[in-house]
Chains A and B, each alone.
Chain A
Amino acid sequence: MNRRIEKNRPKPAAPEPRGNFSLRAWREQHLYSLFSSLGRLAARPWATALTLAVLGFALALPLLFWLLLDNARGLAGNVGEAGAISAFLKPGTDVTAVQAFAARLRARADVAAVTVKTPEQGLDEFRERSGFADALKVLHYNPLPAVLIVDPRGDPGPLAAQLRADPAVDQVQYDAQWRQRLNAILVLALRGAQVLAGLLALAALLVIGNTVRQDIAGRSEEIAVMQLLGAEAGFVRRPFLYSGFWYGTFAGVLSLMLIGIVQVILAAPLARLTAAYDHAFAAHGLGIAQMLAVLAASAALGWLGAFLAASRHIVLGQPR
């Protein structure tokens, strides 16, 4: 028996052969933590699934809201292009005067294009669209004025005001207010989405922190033994950080899946909506880069939550 022990004689010259960790030891330890933490999650599948579901929803909600807004902005931008100024000229303005007025407008720097709609064109359009064709036959004269449709370049405000003041112009129709209101609503909603995302991220942080805290409490004996055996604080903490990392990552994947499901559900009505807008805009989901960003952010969130819990709750057995 003694001979066997002989082989394991400690080297008195180097009492601390494990003092400075090699790169290999470091890697060994990280792999150990990575997989032991994964094993812990798998050991309690239901608790883990429940936690992940809560986290997944918490992350998916703000993402969905943001996606909705991003799409709405695209839609609004598109509608915004219909923000042309319509100037109805005084009835009876003759054709040459109308053309001259249009030419004057085209020369302006803040005008991109001018379309002239003669009273005849207006009447034709009206007949086609309104279905009042027969009724219109009764009229002996054309009551419609000539209309200039002006596409502004840059700020349309002054242009609209000048047109309104022009004696040749009867009426100006311009939907600036409507667009400003829509923009204001979108900006507000976007800010709301950011606040919501912040709050839900905080909730996710707390959920992960609390889960890790319970995990730590359930493993207090293991932690104490590891500390007795000379485990560094970082080593004791690491498996919990990895748990947090896994929670965050899986929750991120889950939230992306939830968003995917929502997209599938919304696909048909969305197609109808885009068709109604003559496919002038396309609804979009998350791009690859955005998905990766979501995963990275949720993993980081998980790590942070675990870090906060671990630094707060692993203090056992250490004299100052």
Chain B
Amino acid sequence: MIAFDRVGKRYPNGFDALSELSFALDAGEMAFVTGHSGAGKSTLLRLVALLERPTRGQVTVNGRNLGAVRRRGIARVRRGVGMVFQDHRLLLDRSVFDNVALPLVIAGVPREEMAKRVRAALDKVGLLEREKSAPSMLSAGEQQRVGIARAIVAKPPVLIADEPTGNLDPQLAAEIMGLFGEFQQVGTTVLVASHDLPLVKRMGKRVLVLDHGRLIDDFQPRNTGP
């Protein structure tokens, strides 16, 4: 579902953020990307969502070679990838409902169906009663959950999250990670970047470890599953 084949990314300033990176994630598989700050975790996720192009190698997402995707095809690729951001990137002048509905509006889903799907997504993250609130009225954890609801409302086959628990307390962080685990169980391919190694290990999923843009470890923690 997600495959990197000897991928390198050199930023325009000459910095090599990723080099010789190869791994593959099956459909419905979940993995964490971890590593020190600056290791290239965000860069890896940006390549999956076509926010950046690799300078070497080949990235395949949803069975499509992203190198062959032209400028006009980028939006379509992104609609197939749900994204969760550390700073959630909600639109503050719109209600929670409207924020979650945005991907459906973009996809041109009819209004009645839209309402149903938005409520289902909000229900899943436990925020059904807050649909009319402004995002600024929510706590950090709730905002992050709204961001997650927005990422999954259009049922993308791939879900990526960049430090989704970055500034949450440990209990909330575990809760959010648990949510991602649930999406994986319904067949979504999930890739989460996090530098919280203890938490990542506790999740019992596959872990990709980056170091200075190189994959130095790829393991499955032995202990508890969710």
Q: Which of B77-85, B194-202, B211-219 contacts A (4 or more CB under 8 A)?
A: B77-85
CA A2 – CA B185 in complex, angstroms?
Answer: 8
Q: Is A124 an interface residue (CB 8 A)?
A: no
Q: Is A6 an interface residue (CB 8 A)?
A: yes
Cβ–Cβ contact A229 & B103, under 8 A: yes
Cβ–Cβ contact A29 & B108, under 8 A: yes
One of B28, B50, B80 near A16 (C-beta < 8 A): B80
Size category of the binding interface on chain B? 35 or more
Cβ–Cβ contact B154 & A228, under 8 A: no
Given contacts A16-B76, A228-B51, A233-B75, contact A10 B156 (CB under 8 A): yes
CA A12 – CA B26 in complex, angstroms?
Answer: 12
Cβ–Cβ contact A226 & B109, under 8 A: no
Minimum distance in angstroms from B70 CB to a CB of chain A = 9
Give per-residue flags for B140-162: 1 if the beta carbon is below 8 A from chain A beta carbons, else 0.
00000000001010111100000
Minimum distance in angstroms from B36 CB to a CB of chain A = 26
Q: Is B56 an interface residue (CB 8 A)?
A: no
User: Could you tell me which residues of chain B, from 156 to 210, have a CB within 8 Å of some CB in chain A?
Assistant: 156-157, 182-183, 185-188
Given contacts A2-B185, A221-B91, contact A18 B75 (CB under 8 A): no
Minimum distance in angstroms from A109 CB to a CB of chain B = 70
Cβ–Cβ contact A12 & B27, under 8 A: yes
Q: Is B49 an interface residue (CB 8 A)?
A: yes
CA A24 – CA B51 in complex, angstroms?
Answer: 30
Given contacts A228-B51, A229-B78, contact A12 B110 (CB under 8 A): no
Kindly list chain A residues whose C-beta atoms are within 8 Å of the C-beta of B183: 5
Kindly list chain A residues whose C-beta atoms are within 8 Å of the C-beta of B110: 24-25, 28
Q: Is A132 an interface residue (CB 8 A)?
A: no
Q: Which of A143-151, A202-210, A312-320 contacts B (4 or more CB under 8 A)?
A: A312-320
Kindly list chain A residues whose C-beta atoms are within 8 Å of the C-beta of B83: 228-229
Q: Is B24 an interface residue (CB 8 A)?
A: no
Which one of A8, A12, A25, A233 has the highest number of Cβ atoms from chain B below 10 Å of its Cβ? A8
Give per-residue flags for B95-120: 1 if the beta carbon is below 8 A from chain A beta carbons, else 0.
00000001101111111000001001
Cβ–Cβ contact A15 & B182, under 8 A: no
Minimum distance in angstroms from A124 CB to a CB of chain B = 85
One of B49, B62, B102, B109 near A225 (C-beta < 8 A): B102
Q: Is A167 an interface residue (CB 8 A)?
A: no
Which one of A4, A16, A232, A233 has the highest number of Cβ atoms from chain B below 10 Å of its Cβ? A16
Cβ–Cβ contact B156 & A25, under 8 A: no
One of A10, A12, A32, A317 near B51 (C-beta < 8 A): A317
Cβ–Cβ contact A230 & B185, under 8 A: no
Cβ–Cβ contact A8 & B50, under 8 A: no
Kindly list chain A residues whose C-beta atoms are within 8 Å of the C-beta of B120: 4, 7-8
User: Could you tell me which residues of chain A, from 96 to 128, have a CB within 8 Å of some CB in chain B?
Assistant: none
Q: Is B130 an interface residue (CB 8 A)?
A: no
Cβ–Cβ contact B75 & A232, under 8 A: yes
Chain A residue at minimum C-beta to C-beta distance from B108: A25
Q: Is B52 an interface residue (CB 8 A)?
A: yes
CA A226 – CA B123 in complex, angstroms?
Answer: 23
Give per-residue flags for A222-236: 1 if the beta carbon is below 8 A from chain B beta carbons, else 0.
101111111111010
Chain B residue at minimum C-beta to C-beta distance from A6: B186
Chain B residue at minimum C-beta to C-beta distance from A231: B106
26 A–B contact pairs at CB < 8 A? Answer: A4-B120, A8-B124, A9-B187, A10-B155, A10-B157, A12-B187, A16-B62, A18-B79, A18-B108, A18-B109, A19-B76, A25-B109, A26-B108, A224-B89, A225-B91, A226-B102, A227-B78, A228-B83, A228-B89, A229-B103, A230-B75, A230-B106, A232-B106, A319-B50, A319-B74, A320-B53
- Chain B positions near chain A (C-beta within 8 angstroms): 27-28, 49-53, 62-63, 71-72, 74-81, 83, 89, 91, 102-103, 105-111, 117, 120-121, 123-124, 150, 152, 154-157, 182-183, 185-188
